Amino acid sequence: MRKYIFKLWIFSIAITWSNSLFSNDTTTLNSSVLLKNYKNIIPLKKLDTLKIATLNLSSNNLNSFEKSCDNYTNIDHFHFNTFSSKRMIRAMEKELKEFNLIIVNTDTIHFEIANLINEISSRNKIILNYVGGQKLFFENIIINSCQAILYNSNSKRKNLNHAGQVIFGGLSCENYLEDNLCDKYRSGDGLTTNKTRLSYVNPNELDINDSILYKIDSIVNNGINKHAMPGCQILAAKDGNVFFNKSYGNHTYDSISKKVENSDIYDLASITKIASSALILMQLESQEKFSVDSTLGHYLPEILDSTDYKNLVLKDILTHQAGLASWIPFYVKTLNDGMPSYELYSKLPSSIHQSLVAKNLYMLSSYRDTIFERILSTDVNKNKKYKYSDVGYYFINEIIKNITFNSQDLIAENIYNKIGLQNIGYNPLNKWDLNRITPTENDTFFRHQLIHGYVHDQGAALLGGVGGHAGLFSNANDLAVIMQMYLNKGTYGGDTIISSEIIEKYTSSPYYNSNKNRRGIAFDKPVRDGAGGPTCFECSSFKSFGHSGFTGNLTWADPESGILYVFLSNRVYPNAENHKLISMNIRTEIMNVISNACKYSTNSTIVSP
């Protein structure tokens, strides 16, 4: 994230932030007053159409406001002193031209600031966040220049944090002026807005028991000390309100390696199935361009021809009862004496070697056809019993391309951009710095290198990193947004992404009554008879859904309790045979703590989106 600093003085010492997002401040939640909201610009919608910058004209450090905005989308932050030279003012205005929305923060309004806001408004939409001032001077200039005006009588860190969330719809706004602010805005004035996105709050604001949540620290630290995983990210929300968002440990077991931060990126492995493949299929089915009740042959006649795969029903494939092999090690036949065969691979890209498998390792683009030949030569078991399989998702990858005429990664990215997500996607080295991406396995069987910035799954790697079953990378926050959108029955940020009926269809268990298959369509579901499975015992309803990932991940959402949970780790570093994360039940133990803490939540004042 860039920061352009135009100033002649040094700001006061920055506010110290803990690794956890929230402070223990217990002041009144959201004291912002919305005074103007032209065309209901707040809460912001269609984030993919906006290029946003914040401009701090305040004498205070607004680090907390900027951080709260960064939870929602990619934003550039500018700091500026109105006493700077005309040359610096012109340089700043030139930089701002590339943005179509400027969020201006100031704690005072004098002529120079009013004039600067007016100048900027000739080229940009302006939202003014006026904090700490007692009167709004030059009101005619300000009111005419701004599409929206937020006011807060003090600039405490928590209030600044909440102001940013009001702008993006994390929090609703229902406050009114206690005193006259100017001739236009008088005591009792104030507009209201709705909550449309995740909020980020202190657990105490939801009446969640902090003393129980502290148990998470000991569970995680014990796991790190016993080398179950080098580090992790954990996020928990209730009713659309994130109350726990914390990172632990390091990228590797080396104590001098980078500490995990909330913005760091993990390989999601099989969570790709629900955060990319199912997401796209549900949107296509909502648009009546796809039906999960159709057959493979309906969508891929040229590939399947007269094979047994032609009549497989997609719903059976996505609930893992189509009789497919659980896994096919495609990479093995690409090796020569245990090393990549350079009849197939190249160390450099070329017109025929386009699929990047790992560092300095490119596969023949045409090998995609060989993968499908291998699948189609594998027998289908006619007995429709539950058997977990990745194989069907190779076809999903092709179906998406055939329907949309675009690759799966581009279609997924369009959806992510629409809801403001900038920390989720395929092929992470094309998007983020390597130091933000956690490494996975030291692969001694196939690629013979540490897998860092490339997909861990071998089959997805052979496809250039874009698989229907694996290949997606994310941080906990952006994955949580996807899961919250599902809990919202397909809406987020004021936009409908998927119809509610389709969400219900995919997250139910269509075959449980007939053959006890607990699976949803792409989604995993809780075990119903006894303990085990992906959830802790009796802490998730049968309506809950989610998925786990081989690299050490789990995400789960429960429509009945409103609880959303994300756990991301790289437990496969440096060896995928390390199963301590599973044997120690770390993910489900943490889920249990979160569930117990939320049982104390009896007085939430924040309305779910």
Q: What is the pLDDT, as a whole number, of residue 20?
A: 32
The β-bridge relationship of strands 101-106 and 52-56 is parallel
| Residue 371 structure tokens | 């993968």
Of the candidates 555, 479, 568, 548, the residue with the CA atom closest to the CA atom of residue 231: 568
Residues 261, 219: one domain? yes
- Statement to judge: residues 143 and 228 lie in one domain: no
Task: Say how far apart CA 108 and CA 479 lie, in whole Å.
Answer: 38
* DSSP per position, 67-92: HHHHTTS-EEEEEE-TTS-HHHHHHH
552: left (phi over 0), alpha (psi -120 to 50) or beta: left
Query: Is 605 domain-assigned?
Result: no
- Decide if 24 is inside a domain: yes
Nearest 5°: CA angle at 214, between 209 and 219? 135
**293 with 406, same domain?**
yes
| Nearest-angstrom CA–CA distance, 204 and 321 | 45
Query: 456-466: per-residue pLDDT in tens?
Result: 999 999 999 99
Can you give the pLDDT at residue 82? 59
**Which residues lie across from 565 on neighbouring strands?**
236, 556
Q: What is the pLDDT of residue 17?
A: 28
Closest alpha carbon to 421 in 480, 336, 375: 480
- Residue 556 in 3-state DSSP? strand
Domain boundary pick from 164, 194, 224: 194
- One-letter-per-residue 3-state SS of 110-134: CHHHHHHHHHHHCCCEEEEEEECCC
Contact between 441 and 574 under an 8 Å Cβ cutoff? The reply is yes
Is residue 177 domain-shared with residue 288, that is, in the same domain? no
560 lies in some domain: yes
pLDDT reported for residue 84: 61
What residue numbers bound the domain in which 240 lies? Answer: 215-598
> What CATH number is given to the structural domain containing 53?
3.40.50.1700
SS (H, E, C) 280-344: HHHHHHHCCCCCCCCEHHHHCHHHHCCCHHHHCEHHHHHCCCCCCCCCCCHHHHHEECCEECCCC
Nearest to 552 by CA among 270, 331, 281: 270
Residues lower than pLDDT 50 in the chain: 1-28, 602-608
Beta-bridge mates of residue 78: 4, 55
Question: For 529-581, what is each residue's pLDDT tens digit?
Answer: 866 789 987 889 999 999 999 999 999 999 999 999 999 999 999 999 999 99
Question: 495 in a domain, yes or no?
Answer: yes
- Residue 236 shares a structural domain with residue 141: no
Write down the pTM of the prediction: 0.92
Position 604 in a domain? no
Give the pLDDT score at 605. 41
Buried b (16+ CB within 10 A) or exposed e, 331-364: beebeeeeebeeebbbeeeeeebebbbbeebbbb
Q: How many C-beta atoms lie closer than 10 Å to residue 572's C-beta?
A: 25
